[in-house]
Structure 1
Amino acid sequence: MTGFRARASLAAGLLLVAGAVHAEPQAKGRVPVLQGLLDCRKVAADAARLACYDAAAGAMDQAEAKGDVVVVDREQARTVRHQGFGFNLPSLAIFDRGETPEDIRRVALKVLAASRDGNGKWTVTVEGGQVWRQIDTGDFTVTPREGMTANIRQAMMGSYIMSIGGHAGVRVHRDR
C-alpha cells in the first residue's frame, strides 16, 4: 500500500506542476513560469515537491533558452539604465525592482566621431554607439574630435546639453 501512496502522491505533484507551470500571472506580476516554480513550495509531500521543483526548473530553463524569460543581475540592470540615458523609456522601470534606481543626470563619454550636417549642426557619436544631434543654433567652443570627452547633462524641459572638454556646450537630442 505504501508504494501506491507514493505513486499517488507523485502523480498529484505532477498534476500540480502542470497547473503551476501554465498558471496565470500572480499578484506581484510574476511570469507564470516563475510563479510555477514558487508554487512548488506549497506542495506538502517531499517526493511530490521534488517532482514539482524538477518540472518547474525544467520549464524555467526552457523558457530562458527560448528567450521567453530573461534573467538579469543588478549590475546588468544598472548598465541598461546608463545605456538608456537620453531616451524617455518608461519601460526601463522593470530594471528598478529591489532597489531605488540612481538618478542619472549626467554622463561623460568618449567621442567616437563628430560631423556637421548641411545646416551646420553637429551629430556626435559617443562610446556605446549613442548618437546625439544638435538641436539649437549655438556652437561648441572647441571642435569635437575622436577621443575627447563629451559631458552630457540633463537640462530643462527634457532636453540635454553636451559640452566637449569642459567648455560651453550645445543643446542636443539623442537619436540612437
Structure 2
Amino acid sequence: MTMAALAFLAAAGPVGAQGAAPARTATMQSLIDCRKIAASDARLACYDAAAGAFEAAEAKGDIVVVDREQATAVRKQAFGFTLPSISIFDRGEKPEDIDEVNLPITSAVRDGHGKWTLVLEGGQVWRQIDSGELSRNPRPGMTAKIKKGAIGSYKLMVGGAMAIKVHRDN
C-alpha cells in the first residue's frame, strides 16, 4: 500500500471546519519535517526518533492510521447519519459517494402502529416513518437495500419490493 493510500488521523488532534483537512499533530509534523534535513546521518537520526514517537503515539491511541478501505467501511457504517467530523476521512482522492447500502437484516419488528423497526448487520437501526407497506415482511437473513432519497430522506426496500421511508436511529 502506498503512502498516498494512507490517511494519518489524530484522534485527539483538532479538527478544522467542515470540509477542511484536519490539522497535523506535532508527532506527524515532526516526521514530515525530517525530510528538510540535508545531512544524511542527521536526517536518519531524525526519522528514527520521529518514527519511534509515531509508533508510541499509535500504541497509546493518540494517533490512528486508517487506510482507504477502512475509511470506506466507516463511511458505509455511518450511512444515514449526518456527521460533520466524518470529513476527516476525505483526504487524498475524492472519496466515493455512498448513495445506498445493502445489509443483511438481523431483526425486524412491527410496533403497535404497524411501523417497522429493522436492525441490520453492524447494529444499524432503521425505523419506518411513513405509512407505506412492504410487500414482503422482512426476516433475519434477508437483505435490506437503503437508498438516499430527496431532501435528506431514506428509502428501504426488502427483496426489490415497494420502498418505505425510514430514519436511522443508531
The TM-score normalised by the length of structure 1 is: 0.80
For residue 137 of structure 1, what is the aligned residue in structure 2? Answer: 131
Whichever structure has more strand as a proportion of its residues is 2
Structure 2: 5+ residue stretches without partners: 1-20
Q: Which residue of 1 aligns with 2:77?
A: 83
Give the match for residue 171 of structure 1.
Answer: 165
Q: RMSD value over aligned CA atoms?
A: 1.6
TM superposition score normalised by structure 2:
0.83
User: How far does residue 132 in structure 1 lie from its aligned partner after superposition?
Assistant: 0.4
Higher relative contact order (CA 8 A, sep 6+): 2
What is the identity percentage for the equivalent residue pairs of Structure 1 and Structure 2?
A: 61
Is residue 143 of structure 2 the alignment partner of residue 149 of structure 1? yes
**Higher helix proportion:** 1
Contact map agreement 2:155 2:166 (CA 8 A) in 1: yes
Where in structure 1 do 4 or more consecutive aligned residues deviate above 4 Å? none
Mapped pair 1:72 → 2:92 = no
In the alignment, is residue 109 of structure 1 matched against residue 103 of structure 2? yes
Q: For 1:29-78, what per-residue CA distance to the aligned partner results, in whole angstroms no more than 9, with x for missing partners?
A: 22211110111112223322222111111110111011110001111111
Gaps of 5+ in 1: 1-26
Distance in 2, Cα, partners of 1:106 & 1:54: 44
Q: Hey, what's the Cα distance between the residues in 2 that align with 1:92 and 1:151?
A: 22
Question: 1:131 & 1:82 partners in 2: Cα distance?
Answer: 14
How many residue pairs match? The answer is: 150
Query: For residue 56 of structure 1, what is the aligned residue in structure 2?
Result: 50
Counterpart in 2 of 1:122? 116
Q: CA–CA distance in 1 between the matches of 2:22 and 2:134?
A: 49
